[in-house]
Structure 1
């Protein structure tokens, strides 16, 4: 192809992949400037979709499991007991405009979501920024309820209004799963477990770039299932890449 040996093309491809990963790491972790400008819009979009929702929710957090080939070393660390596969885990926050606005990972597949949250430092970053005070990210019970995170009511004393609120928030939180589906829809490589050889292939890097390019597809197409569900338009390319530039 292009008058070059396949091995040369492969080297060029992986050089570009690693170059982009290095340049985009901080940008993909948390683009605070863009998010702050849209916080009120995000909160309004979620509140409009979930009647009686928790006030101030602007995004949804979750961990995703990416299956890999059984590694020759460290098998126990990479094994995810819940999914019963060897895997890497990533943490993401999805906003109503369909953009995956936070990405952290990879982490060993055996790790709990709360461990990943503590490792990421996301909670600290939100707490030290006044713009995120009284604003919340919604997640499953593993993330608990703090000044920047909230979760469903639980326990034997949950009353009827609280159960209804849990139901409404659960319905909108499913949008996180849609975003994961978008990634494998456009970039199927992460779904090919046999090719996910952590010792020979930069699988985590390719997963992270899949997130970036999925965001780009969402912008180029003027939206995704998420943004249409919440009636919340994604940013333009200029807005999305402003802090990177």
Structure 2
């Protein structure tokens, strides 16, 4: 195998923490919306599979706002916004930025 330079090792460690955050966030969504784990129900062509994750993640983030936090927000000592602030961002389109990567939700690019 190849030896890893110290700078590459630091980069890998940094990315590892980001990957773990995303995995925890997606895990939180899947744990709260078991339908996403039901493989027989997620058939392309039979249901709008691509729509489910952003919508469920939006609802998960709303729940996080109402509960004033979750595992990720606690880990990074962040307080999520009030629900009204999260949902009614001035100038935002409906569901725009629905999945928040600010430490209390799931990172997702629309």
Question: Structure 1 residue 156: deviation in Å?
Answer: 4.7
Select between 196-205 and 175-184 the one with higher mean Cα deviation.
196-205
Q: How well do the aligned residues superpose, as a CA RMSD in angstroms?
A: 2.3
Task: Supply the distance in 2 between the matched residues of 1:235 and 1:203 (Cα, whole angstroms).
Answer: 28
Partner of 1:179: 25
Does residue 1:189 correspond to 2:25, yes or no? no
The structure carrying a bigger helix percent of its residues is: 2
Distance, in Å, in 1 between the alignment partners of 2:4 and 2:67 is 45
Max radius of gyration: which structure?
A: 1
| Cα distance change, pair 165–185 in 1 and its aligned pair in 2 (3 A) | same
Alignment coverage as a number of residue pairs = 89
2:71 to 204, 207, 225: 225
Deviations 1:156-193 (A, max 9, x none): 5612x6524533x2453211110000111111111101
1:19-98 matches, cutoff 5 A? none
Deviation per residue, 1:42-91 (Å, 9 max, x gap): xxxxxxxxxxxxxxxxxxxxxxxxxxxxxxxxxxxxxxxxxxxxxxxxxx
The runs of at least 4 aligned residues of structure 1 exceeding 6 Å deviation read: none
Deviation at 1:224, TM superposition (A): 1.2
Deviations 1:194-228 (A, max 9, x none): 01122222222222211110111111111111111
